[in-house]
Structure 1
């Protein structure tokens, strides 16, 4: 299986060099391969020279798009998709570092099941120098600055578990800093909507259209990426998110999209309602859509707890899935079964199956 890594960039030449070096150390199954497609969205900082000067041991492509009033992340990604020839389209930003198992973890899911979009998380690095020269030779934690902030979506896992089939709003978490989907599904929904010219939500809207086509979302705990520190105008990003949300809402009249207004930080700030944390807003959003679509509120039934160890028989798994039609289930998985989490996320049950992966047996 082949992965095409789609990477839009704009004036991040120094961060991009470190990013591309980390792809030199990917460890894949013998039959697998990948390509990295860098789409330069009109950079003026010498990005082209950096890319052309690098000696990479993997297939790569560089595409330059002149900057214009229509420039956008959506348009850049679509150019990359057009040039891709992989079975799986993997999205990442050019300011990230990837560990050696990054691509393999995404492909592992797609080999097992067809109709999935995979979501990985990121860690935010503190300000400091990445040891670019050493990254050319290998990858380790000593080569980049310490982690200063963890992905806010980890809080969602803490509350709703690793099982994204519990989430009515899993599509909102499809952020293109670390996600993948089969190429045929990308083509089916027509790629990214290029009307989204501001920052944010163009990827969630892409995820929403995948969701409407019946694609399920799975969380990959092992495909962590590392966001390199650089300055950003956070208030400008919040304002642009709000502008893109207006475009989103005008395109989709569904209640789920209208409910996203709960997450609109800009409008909440104007109305002096920005006191609720991000995770609390998402939780409110999630339970609101459950009540509206399924008539469900918080489960008041104590869950049955299953501690799974050893090699699992099919009958055991089926028994758990059947039990979830009658009451909530809590699974603590200590087994060596790598794909159990994905199998559970395929299953839609009346009650939640909360799934947490524990330490594997040695």
Structure 2
């Protein structure tokens, strides 16, 4: 029986994809017939299939080629993949992700506790290309990546609002399909990704929001963090103008699709948050606590009593509970998140993510230079101009139609 189906969309990315496929070989505690990998090629012209066929596989493998059409989009590629899937759970990985050999075993630990989860995780941003042999030997994982140099944006967000996604007002905003998993039955219920999203961004936020509306628990799993292979993109880079316009158009599409979002999370707040780098603050609940409680987890023996205290304090309003986990237990991290949106906020931090505020501030100051901020400001002005032009054009079209 196939337990997990891993869906990987790709487009002219054969070298990075080959590393991703190699990393999925020999997953611990999984026989070769218990998981499958489905590569969906969105019309590549670089002989992807011929290139990746040279690397042996220890799992069931499928390759699907889609011709490029005006309807081509990331949502269509992912939908094609999961509809072919036979597994109980579907994992979505981007073609530049590298996972550890225990990736599926860690995922299974979560789904054994609760099958109705949308599990997300993070990426470590590599600084240079890597060789296939380094992936095959496992040498690539011998380095400690839990340092500021390798963090992605969501790592820095979580250093502010914590790694307890469930305590956020808008947990769906953290959903990225580059590294996530959920039951196949839920994808069927939702009819998958919305293929009306064209270009870059928001199709994964959309499905995260619809899962949230279904009442699914959105949780993060630090045990399945992936390595993002370097291909010219680094944390802090300003998106090109085309991507910014596509992203802005897709945000507008999502707000037209879900009118209640205008009240739940006004669109202007999203734009302002990204421009001022205050995304965590728009996701957090209002600070209405009167007393703060700090707990440090040092042994398994103290967990039962500690859980009782956390449940008691979080069930009453007016408290802020901050948990520092020296064990870095995936089971305890999940337990915290399954408490849900408690009356008092519970923030969770693993010990390996303990950094001095001054150190973080200095690092971000070096990343977001004045030059980058000026480029971002200029592109935001052009984005606003583009938005006004589209709005004016639509009005002219409507007026012409009425005549």
Normalised by the length of structure 2, the TM-score is: 0.77
Preserved CA contact (<8 Å) 1:178 1:225: yes
Name the residue aligned to 1:163: 164
SS, match of residue 194 in structure 1: coil
Name the residue aligned to 1:293: none
Map residues 13-92 of structure 1 onto 2, 5 A cutoff: 13-28=14-29, 33-92=34-93
Q: Distance in 2 between matches of 1:27 and 1:261?
A: 46
SS, match of residue 69 in structure 2: coil
Q: Distance in 2 between matches of 1:197 and 1:206?
A: 15
Name the residue aligned to 1:302: 291
Name the residue aligned to 1:237: 243
The structure in which a higher percent of residues are helix is 2
Preserved CA contact (<8 Å) 1:91 1:177: yes
SS, match of residue 222 in structure 1: helix
Name the residue aligned to 1:340: 332
Preserved CA contact (<8 Å) 1:81 1:89: yes
Normalised by the length of structure 1, the TM-score is: 0.85
Deviation at residue 51 of structure 1 after TM alignment:
2.7
Name the residue aligned to 2:269: 262
Residues 335 and 55 (structure 1), Cα distance of their counterparts in 2 relative to 1, 3 Å cut:
closer
Map residues 1-362 of structure 1 onto 2, 5 A cutoff: 2-28=3-29, 33-127=34-128, 129-141=129-141, 149-231=150-232, 234-255=240-261, 259-264=266-271, 276-277=276-277, 280-283=278-281, 285-287=282-284, 290=285, 297-308=286-297, 309-312=299-302, 314=304, 316-326=306-316, 327-335=319-327, 338-347=330-339, 348-358=341-351
Q: Distance in 1 between matches of 2:200 and 2:328?
A: 41
SS, match of residue 140 in structure 1: helix
Q: Which has the larger radius of gyration?
A: 2
Deviation at residue 80 of structure 1 after TM alignment:
0.4
Preserved CA contact (<8 Å) 1:123 1:147: no
Deviation at residue 115 of structure 1 after TM alignment:
2.0
Structure 1: tracts of 5 or more residues without a match: 291-296
Q: Distance in 2 between matches of 1:142 and 1:7?
A: 25
Aligned length: 340
Between 132-141 and 206-215, report the one with greater CA deviation: 132-141
Residues 94 and 223 (structure 1), Cα distance of their counterparts in 2 relative to 1, 3 Å cut:
same
Preserved CA contact (<8 Å) 2:10 2:42: yes
Residues 337 and 226 (structure 1), Cα distance of their counterparts in 2 relative to 1, 3 Å cut:
closer
Structure 2: tracts of 5 or more residues without a match: 234-238, 353-403
Residues 358 and 33 (structure 1), Cα distance of their counterparts in 2 relative to 1, 3 Å cut:
farther
Q: Distance in 2 between matches of 1:341 and 1:133?
A: 33
Q: Distance in 1 between matches of 2:102 and 2:219?
A: 17
Residues 249 and 255 (structure 1), Cα distance of their counterparts in 2 relative to 1, 3 Å cut:
closer
